[in-house]
Amino acid sequence: MGAGVAEKSGGSGRRRRGRGRSRPMAEINVTPFVDVMMVLLIIFMVAAPLMTVGVPVELPKTAANALPGEEEEEPLTVTLTAEGVVTIQTSEVPREELVTRLRAIAAERDSTRVFLRADGAVPYSDVMQVMGALNRGGFSDIGLVTDMGGPELDGQDS
């Protein structure tokens, strides 16, 4: 990306005054810049779908705004599927072992924030049981994950 100096090489070896001096090269080589940008674009296109947790859940829709993300470490995600299966990140956990595993995870983490994803077809009592297990496991900052665009309580759809 550098600007260089273009010199004229004369055959006589003498210095001329005025026009024969070296002049700055006015062209910038953008090929390396384009190459780097293409590589970054490909990396982000491949990595973006991998940032979401891979457990398929039909989240309920609400009109709530998104929570600000100020986390340094990867957020812990607990998912409750329509079949009643509980997963931590992407690994399935039996309900009787949930509190034990959560305590072990909480001991290794700095943050007590956890995101709970529950299918819209799951009964409210099951969601509350998992929230109670999260609290007993050492996680006091529980965020409920929903899809945006649901009905607002003022009677208007967003």
How far from chain centre, in Å, is Cα 98?
Answer: 26
At 46-95, the pLDDT tens digits run 887 766 656 666 666 666 666 565 556 677 888 888 888 898 888 888 88
- Of the candidate CATH numbers 3.90.800.10, 3.30.420.270, 3.30.70.2860, 3.30.565.10, the domain formed by 55-148 belongs to 3.30.420.270
At 118-140, the pLDDT tens digits run 888 888 888 888 889 988 888 88
Sorted by where each begins, the domain ranges of the chain are 15-49, 55-148
The predicted pLDDT at position 46 comes to: 85
